[in-house]
């Protein structure tokens, strides 16, 4: 399996706060890899560092073998790395379809219509609501839209930051079903979650993050069965 992402011993600071303390992991083509951890463990900081919004003080991020140091965030999207940020950040005042068009800004115009058709096939709910103002969508629909918008850039790696946040259990299930479908279709995904149960159930491999460091790693199934993970993240 070809390696698509390698995070090598990154340290990330906010001023004097050492938020990420020497984290290393990799993602191979076609895998779903999850980083699980509690509030404040450093999950979003790691994703924001990979997507170029934050800069590591030490260590490196390699995407398809190339160091992303000094590469601007929009150039990183162009190379094929898309992030669905925590809290979704869709364009509230625009329609569903306009949000999808915005997601394709790195793509040639001729591919936008077919791209939108693909997203509507994967998310029929978005097709029904194509003319609706995005800010009036339900939480689950907004998450679908944020994922659809990211897919419009035809990413080689899709990074999802807590897609289950704030959603009712039934919607969490729907979102994870979509992640399973994307995985089955060959999409490579780096998933960050507090919902360890759901994340481990879809992941090929997983890393547990505790206060800025990786404390455990294994397959999704191994970590689901681990006593330490069960006690800390799965309610015993």
Ligand X SMILES: Nc1ncnc2c1ncn2[C@@H]1O[C@H](COP(=O)(O)OP(=O)(O)OP(=O)(O)O)[C@@H](O)[C@H]1O
DSSP for 91-160 reads: -TTSBHHHHHHHHTTTS-GGGHHHHHHHHHHH-HHHHHTTTSBGGGS-HHHHHHHHHHHHHTT--SEEEE
| Count of residues of this chain found to bind ligand X when the rule CB under 6 A is applied | 13
Please, what is the minimum distance in Å from the beta carbon of residue 215 to Mg ion? 17
Give the one entry of ligand X, Mg ion, none that residue 232 binds, where binding means its C-beta sits below a cut-off of 5 to 8 angstroms depending on kind.
Answer: none
Give the one entry of ligand X, Mg ion, none that residue 185 binds, where binding means its C-beta sits below a cut-off of 5 to 8 angstroms depending on kind.
Answer: none
Sheet containing 3-14, strands listed edge to edge, beginning at the edge strand earlier in sequence: 17-28, 3-14, 58-63, 66-67
Verify binding: residue 45, ligand X, rule CB under 6 A: yes
C-beta of 53 vs 112, nearer to ligand X:
53
DSSP 183: H
Verify binding: residue 93, ligand X, rule CB under 6 A: no
Please, what is the minimum distance in Å from the beta carbon of residue 218 to ligand X? 20
Find the binding residues for ligand X in span 122-181 (CB under 6 A): none
Please, what is the minimum distance in Å from the beta carbon of residue 131 to Mg ion? 32
Is residue 220 within 8 Å of 34, Cβ to Cβ? yes
Is residue 175 within 8 Å of 201, Cβ to Cβ? no
Write out the residues near Mg ion by the rule CB under 5 A.
43-44, 86
Write out the residues near ligand X by the rule CB under 6 A.
14, 17, 19, 37, 39-45, 86, 194
């Amino acid at each position: 399996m070809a390696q698509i992402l390698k995070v090598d011993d990154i340290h990330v600071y906010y001023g004097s706060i050492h938020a990420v303390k020497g984290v290393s992991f990799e993602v191979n083509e076609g895998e779903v890899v999850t980083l699980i951890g509690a509030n404040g463990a450093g999950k979003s900081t790691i994703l924001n560092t990979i997507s170029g919004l934050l800069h590591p003080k030490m260590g490196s991020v390699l995407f398809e073998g190339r160091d992303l140091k000094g590469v601007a965030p929009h150039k990183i999207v162009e190379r094929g790395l898309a992030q669905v940020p925590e809290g979704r950040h869709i364009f509230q005042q625009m329609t569903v379809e306009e949000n999808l068009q915005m997601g394709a800004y790195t793509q040639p115009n001729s591919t936008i219509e077919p791209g939108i058709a693909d997203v509507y096939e994967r998310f029929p709910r978005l097709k029904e609501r194509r003319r609706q103002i995005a800010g009036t969508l339900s939480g689950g629909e907004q998450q679908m839209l944020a994922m659809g918008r990211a897919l419009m850039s035809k990413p080689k790696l899709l990074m999802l930051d807590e897609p289950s946040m704030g959603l009712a259990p039934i919607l969490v299930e729907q979102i994870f079903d979509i992640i399973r479908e994307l995985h089955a279709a060959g999409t490579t995904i780096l998933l960050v979650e507090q919902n360890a149960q759901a994340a481990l159930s879809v992941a090929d491999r997983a890393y547990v993050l505790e206060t800025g460091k990786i404390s455990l790693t294994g397959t999704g199934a191994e970590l689901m069965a681990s006593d330490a993970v069960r006690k800390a993240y799965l309610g015993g």
